[in-house]
Amino acid sequence: MNHAAELKNVSFRYANGDAGALNGLDLTIRRGECILLCGSSGCGKTTVTRLLNGLIPHYYEGTLSGDVTVCGRSVRDTAIEDLAGIVGSVFQNPRSQFFCVDTTAEIAFGCENMGLPEAEIRGRIDKTVTDMHIEKLLDRSIFKLSGGEKQKIACAGVAAMLPELIVLDEPTSNLDLDAISELRTILAAWKAQGKTIVIAEHRLNWLNGLCDRILLLEEGRISGEFSGSEFYSLDTQTHNQMGLRAAVIRNNYLESSMGLSAIKPFASDSTITLEEFRYQYGRQKVLDIDKLVLPKGSVTAVVGHNGAGKSTFTRCLCGLQKGFRGRVTADGSVYRPKDMQRLSYMVMQDVNHQLFAETVLEEVMLGAEDSEKEQALRILETLGIAAYQERHPMSLSGGQKQRVAIASALLAGKKLLVFDEPTSGLDFRSMESTASLLRKLNKAITVLIVTHDMELIERCCTHILHIEAGRADSR
């Protein structure tokens, strides 16, 4: 049989909402094929991957109709543990699929669950490590890995199980350019081995030349189908009209000395000054900044490789990192570490950690006065999520959850807003909406955005702060 998977007239409704629903979808995936699923947030991309790996219907509750077969097996009638050796999954956040605290044990975990003999497991680990050139990642603490290194371990754990089909859901949303390039190399090797690969993704440029077929999803159906060469020959305007990110990005802020026409030199009559920002983990210096001046009202992109110290810097700035030293001067007031939370508000990279309320509106209004409700509703309208104000935040798509957190940040009225990868997992229109909102913020607010998103930087950032090895270079 030449089919790796087949979906026939498949419809699905999640028990907690319509986001990601499918409506009579038909899809045949050939063996050895590399397919890209793209489309706006909530179009059904992730739902397709969950059907292929058995998370639907065995984990996510809802109403399913139609037939889904993977490698000749009915997903509905096959236990999820029996599918694990056939379908491998790499998720947007690799931490969500880790079960061990060290890397070697994590690579072995899936094989152990399959009940393989110890000698076979060791052989598979050795071959996977050699094929992926990750010898230096063995016997390491999971907690000390960079984002790219965690993604490599997730891929290694999948590869060691020797699945026939591999699905990836937004695998690059939190990766820097080097890590994305390394992930592409891994996928190219899998393709050369004859693996079938299905990728749900918003960031498109890194897959140029790798995908055989591109499927555009809209409202739970396939609305467009292209060969790889056809899709990547389309111009950016055409992709944007489809609701997609640019498939070709020519600027690289790390390789061109951050030379962007939209970026202006640091200059402002009013500033926020950071002094003697220091933090170390054991004997290792993670952050070492003598002085840094941020123009008030600026929107500054904080860039650098994974593990460079960007997240540590922003956590210190928001008073979330215990044990750091430093001070901030703003509007004549001096803020010490214990005062930072009065100055700053952070929207975290994993937004699930900061969603607590029963409805979207309640979430945005946490800690706010009743008199601020109209303002909260205006912000929700601007972000395009007013229609979900009575929905539970956890029932929304990843992109919609991020917009809820951004709305909370805007209503908080702090002088310094810090966004950690605010557009990871967002489609083109949501990214553009976020960029537009950040451009229009009150000039009394200073914004820092930790990001690898070149399109976001070009659309809304006035300055760039480059952090590498815990040191800062501003432009």
Task: Tell me the per-residue pLDDT of 401-451, one tens digit each, with 9 for 90 and over.
Answer: 878 988 888 888 788 889 888 887 788 988 888 888 788 776 778 899 998
- The rounded distance, in Å, linking the Cα atoms of 450 and 461 is 11
Which strands, in side-by-side order, build the sheet including 221-227? 87-90, 165-169, 196-200, 34-38, 213-218, 221-227
Average pLDDT over residues 310-331: 88
- Distance, CA of 217 to CA of 40 (rounded, Å): 8
* Helix count and strand count (H, E) for the chain: 16, 20
Q: How far lies 269's CA from each of 262, 265, 266, 301, 334, in Å?
A: 20, 13, 11, 20, 18
d(CA 463, CA 347): 19
DSSP 86: T
Nearest to 412 by CA among 367, 452, 374: 367
Chain mean position to CA 339:
30
Q: Whole-number mean pLDDT of the chain?
A: 87
User: Looking at the predicted structure, is the pLDDT value of residue 39 above 80?
Assistant: yes
The yes-or-no verdict on residue 152 having pLDDT over 70 is yes
Residues 139-153 have a mean pLDDT of: 87
What is the gyration radius of the CA atoms in the chain, in angstroms? Answer: 23
C-alpha dist (Å) from residue 389 to 309, 373, 393, 395, 469: 36, 11, 9, 12, 42
pLDDT at 147: 78
Q: Can you state the angle between helices 147-159 and 103-113, rounded to 10 degrees?
A: 30
Cα torsion 261, 265, 268, 273 to 10°: value is: 120
Q: How would DSSP label each residue in 3-72?
A: EEEEEEEEEEEETTEEEEEEEEEEEEEETT-EEEEE-STTSSHHHHHHHHHTHHHHTS-EEEEEEEEETT
- The model's confidence at residue 88, banded by pLDDT at 50, 70 and 90, is very high
The secondary structure element, H or E, covering residue 408 is helix 398-412
- What stretches of 193-290 show up as alpha helix (H) in DSSP? 228-232, 236-241
Alpha carbon 265 to chain centroid distance? 29
Residue 150 has pLDDT above 60, yes or no: yes
Span of 75-79, 117-121, 352-356 with lowest mean pLDDT? 352-356
- CA 311 – CA 152 distance, rounded (Å): 20
| 190 band by pLDDT with thresholds 50, 70 and 90 | very high
pLDDT tens track for 234-293: 999 999 999 999 887 755 444 333 433 334 454 555 788 899 989 987 778 888 899 988
Q: Exposure of 115 by Cβ count < 10 A (0-12 exposed, 13-18 middle, 19+ buried)?
A: exposed
Place of tokens 């010490």: 336
Structure tokens at 50: 């969950």
pLDDT of the residue at 403: 81
pLDDT 10s digits, 8-21? 999 999 987 766 78
What's this model's pTM, rounded to 2 decimal places? 0.80
Full DSSP string of 266-302: S--SSEEEEEEEEEEETTEEEEEEEEEEEETT-EEEE
Distance of CA 156 to the CA centre of its chain: 19
Say whether pLDDT at 161 is over 80. yes
Task: Spell out the residues 6+ positions from residue 405 whose beta carbon is closer than 8 angstroms to its own.
Answer: 347, 348, 351, 354, 355
Predicted local confidence at residue 474, as pLDDT:
61
Q: Given a cut of 60, is residue 120 above it in pLDDT?
A: yes
- The per-residue pLDDT for range 382-410, each reduced to its tens digit, is 888 999 999 999 988 766 887 898 888 88
Q: From residue 272, how far is each of 192, 296, 448 by CA, in Å?
A: 52, 6, 12
Structure tokens at 364: 């945005």
pLDDT average, residue stretch 214-219: 95
